[in-house]
Amino acid sequence: MAENPIKVSVLILTKNERADLPGCLRSVSWCDDVHVYDSGSTDDTVEIAQRMGAHVTQRTYTNSDAPFGGDEAGHRNWGLRHIPFKHEWVLALDADERATDSLVKALRNLSSSQTSLVGFRLLRKDYFLGTWIRHVTVTPYQVRIFKPAHVSYERVINPVTHIDGEVGDLDAHFDHYPFSKGISHWFSKHNGYSSEEARHIVSAADANASFSLIKAVFSRDISVRRRHQKGLYYRLPLRPLVMFMGLYIGKRGFLDGRAGLVYAILRAIYEYMIVLKAEELRQQG
């Protein structure tokens, strides 16, 4: 253990997460400051959080009553600015994610003297069909440990993380179970997401935005790189096919076996949903 290890608060975002929240809370039972940030759950998510000793903050916002709608970036930004975290550092998780032993060990080996850094990237291990889909996921590294004052989010749906300061890589991972509620829930969730993505694509803000190929490929900031990649990607023809080939061939998703093939197909279907909905919106003017 490092001398003067950093102290970490935990932030868990929830909306009707009664099935996944208990497992997530158990995985962070080592933390003395766990916050559940709820956006209007109608099940017993809040009761579970309170029963298991977490601090609960509830906030509703425009379209937060929709199953998968609303301004996610604005909601997250509000939480980072208003939730009274006990510690300087925050570990952010979704309810279907789990802190691992390797993550806890890495945190205990981090010294508070590392003042030049304001965030750390972690490896997210996604599981599907009982398999860690190691190759086929789009963005396996994410900034999840950070100092809240240096972080902000952008985009209504699938927010992009912006870090004001230097970010390091932590040799640790957390687990993610995106299909924990079943395939029907995944389709329902991504039906909502695809509608928001389509609106975002055809909005005046996106239509007039300029994107740089140089930044999309060479930017050292993964958040900047991802934003420019996404902007350029939405201008490509045959995007569903590009998505499938990029994941299954380009990222060697075939090495993940049947799970890799099925997941690449699902992502291509999701992309096609976005294409069709964007086309529909344009036709509607």
Q: Residue 100 burial by CB count (10 A; 0-12/13-18/19+): exposed, middle or buried?
A: middle
Q: What is the pLDDT of residue 9?
A: 98
The rounded distance, in Å, linking the Cα atoms of 136 and 145 is 24
pLDDT at position 185 over 70: yes
Q: What is the pLDDT of residue 209?
A: 58
* Average confidence (pLDDT) over 124-138: 95
How large a percentage of the chain has pLDDT more than 70? 88
pLDDT at position 103 over 90: yes
Q: What is the pLDDT of residue 96?
A: 97
Give the residue, 8 or 6, on which the prediction is more confident: 8
Fold adopted by 8-176 = Spore Coat Polysaccharide Biosynthesis Protein SpsA; Chain A (3.90.550)
Q: What is the pLDDT of residue 281?
A: 92
Q: What is the pLDDT of residue 63?
A: 73
The Cβ of residue 245 has, within 10 Å, a number of other Cβ atoms equal to: 15
Q: What is the pLDDT of residue 88?
A: 94
pLDDT at position 1 over 70: no
* Average confidence (pLDDT) over 107-123: 86
**Across-strand partners of 11?**
35, 92
Q: What is the pLDDT of residue 227?
A: 67
The rounded distance, in Å, linking the Cα atoms of 71 and 55 is 23
Domain-wise residue ranges, the chain: 8-176, 183-283
Of 63-67, 133-137, 164-168, 248-252, the poorest mean pLDDT is in 63-67
229-255 residue pLDDT tens: 766 777 777 899 999 999 999 999 999
Q: Which of 69, 76, 73 is nearest to 35 (CA)?
A: 76
Q: Residue 151 burial by CB count (10 A; 0-12/13-18/19+): exposed, middle or buried?
A: buried
Highest mean pLDDT among 108-122, 146-160, 202-216, 254-268: 254-268
Helix (H) / strand (E) element for 209: namely: none
The rounded distance, in Å, linking the Cα atoms of 223 and 143 is 9
* Average confidence (pLDDT) over 175-179: 97
pLDDT at position 118 over 80: yes
249-282 residue pLDDT tens: 999 999 999 999 999 999 999 999 999 999 999 8
The rounded distance, in Å, linking the Cα atoms of 184 and 224 is 33
Average pLDDT over the chain, rounded to whole?
Answer: 89
Q: What is the pLDDT of residue 139?
A: 81
Of 45-49, 87-91, 153-157, 256-260, the poorest mean pLDDT is in 153-157
192-220 residue pLDDT tens: 889 988 888 887 545 555 667 677 666 77
29-57 residue pLDDT tens: 999 999 999 999 999 999 999 999 999 99
